[in-house]
Amino acid sequence: MTKTNSSIFRFAIIFMLILQIRIQLSDESEFFVDRSKAGLTHVPKDVSPKTTILDISQNYISELRTSDILSLSKLRILIISHNRIQYLDISVFKFNPELEYLDLSHNKLGKISCHPTVNLKHLDLSFNAFDALPICEEFGNMSQLEFLGLSATQLQKSSVLPIAHLHISKVLLVLGDPYGEKEDSESLQDLNTESLHIVFPTGKEFHFILDVSISTAVNLELSNIKCVLDDNGCSYFLNVLSKLQKNPRLSSLTLNNIETAWDSFIMILQLVWHTSIEYFSIKNVKLQGYLGFRDFDYSNTSLKALSIQQVVSDVFSFPQSSIYKIFSNMNIQNFTVSGTHMVHMLCPSQTSPFLYLDFSNNLLTDTLFRDCGKLTQLETLNLKMNQLKELANIVHMTKEMKSLQQLDISQNFLRYDENEGNCSWTRSLLSLNMSSNILTDSVFSSYHKLKTLMALRTYLEWPKEKSKHGLFWANLRAAINIKLMEQSK
Ligand SMILES: *[C@@H]1O[C@H](CO)[C@@H](O)[C@H](O)[C@H]1NC(C)=O
Ligand SMILES: *[C@@H]1O[C@H](CO)[C@@H](O)[C@H](O)[C@H]1NC(C)=O
Ligand SMILES: *[C@@H]1O[C@H](CO)[C@@H](O)[C@H](O)[C@H]1NC(C)=O
Ligand SMILES: *[C@@H]1O[C@H](CO)[C@@H](O)[C@H](O)[C@H]1NC(C)=O
Ligand SMILES: *[C@@H]1O[C@H](CO)[C@@H](O)[C@H](O)[C@H]1NC(C)=O
C-alpha cells in the first residue's frame, strides 16, 4: 500500500470510528481515549476503566500484557496499529469480554499464541511479519467476524481451514516480501469471504501463480502488480486473471498500483471484458512501451462501469489514436479516465451506450465531442479540471516544448498580466515551422497538446484582500514549481 493509500485507509477508519462514536454518544455509553502519536513506549496506566474505545496507534509500544488492559473491562475497540509489537498472546484480552474491534496492523508481529475470543467482529493483523498465516483453530469460533486482516510470506491450504466455515465480509491479505518462492496456487480456495483484497509484495515482478478466484468472492481487489520484465507480456498476471472466469459471482474488480506495458494493459482490459465483472476500477497506473494491440473484442461483456485513474505514461512517444479508438468504442454505461495526460478522445464509430463519462483532470477541452452525433444517450460529461494543475500543465508544456529544438517558440510564449483583476494567461506567440520535415509523432503530439491548451482560458482568482496576495503567489509558485516572474521577463 502506498503512503497515500494507507493514510486514506486510516482516515476512513477514523472517520468510521468517529461516526460510530457519535452514534454511540447519543446513548452516552461510549468513552473514547485517544493517545495516538504520543511517543508511548508502553500502554498508558492512567486510562479510565470506563474507556470503551482506546486509540494508542502510532507509538513505540513493543508489548501488550494482561495487566496493561486488565482494568478496561468495558473496552470495545482497541487500536494499536503502527507500533512495534513482535509477539502477542491473545489471552491478554481475557478480561475484556466486550472487545469486538482489534487493530494490530502495521506492527512487527511474527507469532501469536491462541486463546478463544468469540466476540471479535474486526480483527486486523495485516502488515506484520508473520511467515505462515496467523490463523488459530480458535478463530473458527468467531462466528461474528466481519473483517479479518492477515499477513504472511507463505500460504498453505491447511492454514485457511479453521475459518473455512465462517462467512467473513472482508478479508485483507498482505503478502510480505519473500512471498513467491514456493507457491501452492490452491492455498486460498477454502477462504469464505465476500470481498477479498490481496496486496502483493511491493516492487516485485509478478511471477505468481496464486489462484485468487475464490468461489464466494463478489469483490476482488489486487494491489501491486508489476510486470515490466516479462517478455511474454505480463503472462503470469494474465493467467491469474483468466481464472476469474471460473467464478460467475464475481462482480467487481479493482487493481491498484499497476506497472506494465501498454499492450499488457489493453490485454488485461480485454480479459476482464469476457468475465462476469460489472465494475472494473484501475488506480495508479504506470505504463510504458508502444501499443501494438488493435482489434479489441467488445462482444459478450457484463461490464457496466470502467474507471481508470491516475495514469503516468510515456504516451507521447507513439500515436495515441489507437488507444482513443479502443476507449471511445467501449460498450459500457460508465467510463472514467481521470488524472492522465489524455489530450484527446475520438467520437465513437457507432451509436454509443455511454451514459456517464468522467474525463476530469486530463488535458481535454470542452470542445471535446463537438459535432459528435454518436453519443445519443450521454447524460453526463465531466471535464472539470483542477485549475492549478492546469496551470502547472501549461508551464510544464512550455518547458517541454522549449526542450524540443525543432520548435521555434517565442520567449514570451506565456505572459502573465498582473493588472488584470485575475491572473490571466495569454498566448503571445507560437511559431511552429510546419514546413520542416522533422515533425515526428512526438512533436506533433506535443503540438496538439499545446494547441488544445491554447484554446483554454485559465484564470485563477486574485484575492481582493491585499493580505492574501502573498499567499496567492506562494500557492501558485508551489503549484507550478517555477518562478513565474522570471519566466515572463
Ligand atoms: C468452538 O467451536 C467448537 C466446534 O464448533 C466447539 O466445540 C467449542 O465449544 C467452541 N468453543 C467456544 C469457546 O465457543
Ligand atoms: C457470446 O455469447 C453467445 C451466447 O451466449 C455465444 O453464442 C457466443 O459464442 C459468445 N461469443 C463470444 C465471442 O464469446
Ligand atoms: C454511473 O455513474 C453514475 C454517476 O456517478 C451513477 O449514478 C450510476 O449508478 C453509475 N452506473 C453504473 C452502472 O455504475
Ligand atoms: C480575467 O481576465 C480576462 C482577460 O482580460 C477577462 O476577459 C476576464 O473577464 C477576467 N475575468 C474576471 C473574473 O475578472
Ligand atoms: C523552416 O524549415 C525550413 C526547412 O527545414 C527552413 O528552410 C526554414 O528556414 C525554417 N524557417 C524558420 C522560420 O525557421
Q: Are 227 and 203 in contact (CB under 8 A)?
A: no
- What is the model's pLDDT at position 360? 87
200 Cα: distance to centroid of ligand 1 (angstroms)? 34
CB atoms near residue 436 (< 10 Å): 11
Amino acid letter for position 489: K
Pair 353, 375: CB distance under 8 Å: no
Average pLDDT of the chain is: 80
**Å from CA of 460 to ligand 4 middle:** 10
| C-alpha–C-alpha distance, residues 245 and 276, integer Å | 7
User: Which letter does DSSP use for residue 160 in this model?
Assistant: H
Count each helix (H run) and each strand (E run) in the chain, helices first. Answer: 10, 20
Asked if the structure places residue 310 within a domain, the reply is no
- Is 478 a domain residue? no
What residues form DSSP beta bridges with 288? Answer: 261
DSSP class of residue 161 equals G
Residue 395: the pLDDT is: 52
Q: How far is the CA of 334 from the centre of ligand 3 (A)?
A: 6
CATH code for the domain of 407: 3.80.10.10
Name the β-bridge partners of 254.
221, 281
The SS3 assignment for 33 reads: strand
Asked if residue 179 is part of any domain, the answer here is no
Is any ligand 2 atom within 6 A of the Cβ of residue 302?
A: no
- 163 within some domain: no
DSSP code per residue over 235-300: HHHHHHHHGGGG-TT--EEEEEEEEEEHHHHHHHHHHHHTSS--EEEEEEEEEES----------S
Q: For ligand 2, say whether the CB of 4 is within 6 Å of any of its atoms.
A: no
Which residue range is the domain that position 383 belongs to? 334-457
Q: Quick: pLDDT tens for 428-481.
A: 223 333 322 233 344 444 455 555 544 443 334 556 677 766 665 655 554 443
Measured by CA distance, the residue closest to atom 3 of ligand 5 is: 436
Cβ(462) – ligand 3 distance below 6 Å: no
Domain count for the chain, please give it: 1
In a domain, 359, yes or no: yes
Q: What is the pLDDT of residue 294?
A: 78
Burial 280-314 (b: 16+ CB within 10 A, else e): bbbbbbbbbbebebeebeeeebbbebbbbbebebe
Partners of 259 in the β-ladder = 226, 286
Position 131 in a domain: no
What per-residue confidence (pLDDT) applies to 314?
64
pTM, rounded to two decimals: 0.75
Please name the residue whose Cα sits nearest to atom 7 of ligand 1: 141
8 A C-beta contact, residue 238 and residue 268? yes
Q: Is residue 118 part of a domain?
A: no
Q: Give the pLDDT confidence score for residue 479 in this predicted structure.
A: 43
Does any domain span residue 352? yes
pLDDT in tens, the chain (489 residues): 444 444 544 545 444 444 444 444 444 578 999 999 999 999 999 999 999 999 999 999 999 999 999 999 999 999 999 999 999 999 999 999 999 999 999 999 999 999 988 899 999 999 999 999 999 999 999 999 999 999 999 999 999 999 999 999 999 999 999 999 899 999 999 999 999 999 999 989 999 999 999 999 999 999 999 999 888 889 999 999 999 999 999 999 999 999 999 999 999 999 999 999 999 999 999 998 888 877 899 999 999 999 999 988 764 556 678 888 999 999 999 999 998 877 778 999 999 999 999 998 877 766 788 889 899 899 999 887 665 555 555 555 555 444 443 343 333 333 333 333 323 333 322 333 332 223 334 444 445 555 554 444 333 455 667 776 666 565 555 444 333 333 333
Report how far residue 259's alpha carbon sits from residue 64's, in angstroms, rounded to the nearest whole number: 39
Compute how many other C-beta atoms are within 10 angstroms of the C-beta atom of residue 64: 22
Instruction: Please state the atom number of ligand 3 nearest to the C-alpha of residue 334.
Output: 1
